[in-house]
Amino acid sequence: MRITKFGHACVRVEAGGRAVVLDPGGFTDVAAVEGADAVLVTHEHADHLDVANLRAADAPILTIAAVADAIGEQAPDLRERVTVVAPGDAFEAAGLAVRAVGELHAVIHPDYDRIHNSGFLLDVEGTRVFHPGDALTGPGEPVDLLLAPVCAPWLKIGEAIDFAREVGAPRNLAIHDRIYSDLGLGMADAHFSRLLEPNGQSWARIDDGVELT
């Protein structure tokens, strides 16, 4: 199994000679999707959904109905590659077992309508990897590796840490990390490490294109 972090919320998961890419949005270099066998998209915001990256992948796209509608509007040529999954659905992506988790994006502000969002729980050769998208909705079952959001307009650092504690994964990899400066990310890393490690949970933030070891 190989897990590689790419720009912002994008992670590439490789196992058995196949690759699944999650959320290759507008902050993500196209290299993330090269040779991908499947792409998963949690929701329609541009930092998670970028049709140029989807075109470059030449792979099936598995996502929720709201994202499928957005793809159809932005890139009708991609419609035939999209498979719609619903919250709670169990399905397969490039040979990996996946379950869609949750239904709504976290609240940004009460004046905004909440859009749809489903995270994805992947079974990667017996290792459970969870990408929540833009929500603090856990999968309700043990997770080995949480792809943990760090910073967003909808997120406070205390909420992010409490979410990681609630999920309880022994390993946590920082994602959704393009909002803070380098100084802010260093502060966030210190908080995550200080508050997760006493619970036996490790914390890692790695550069784009770097594989988690």
The predicted-structure confidence for 170-194, as pLDDT tens digits, reads as follows: 999 999 999 999 999 999 999 999 9
Instruction: Indicate whether 55 belongs to any domain.
Output: yes
Say how many domains are in the chain: 1
Contact 120, 9 (CB under 8 A): no
Q: What is the CATH number of the domain that holds 36?
A: 3.60.15.10
User: Quick one: 157 exposed, middle or buried, by C-beta within 10 A (0-12, 13-18, 19+)?
Assistant: middle
pLDDT for position 212: 97
Instruction: Indicate whether 209 belongs to any domain.
Output: no
**Could you list the residue range(s) of the whole structural domain that residue 86 is in?**
2-203
The predicted-structure confidence for 32-87, as pLDDT tens digits, reads as follows: 999 999 999 999 999 999 999 999 999 999 999 999 999 999 999 999 999 999 99
pLDDT for position 186: 97
pLDDT above 90 coverage of the chain, percent: 100
Global confidence as pTM? 0.97
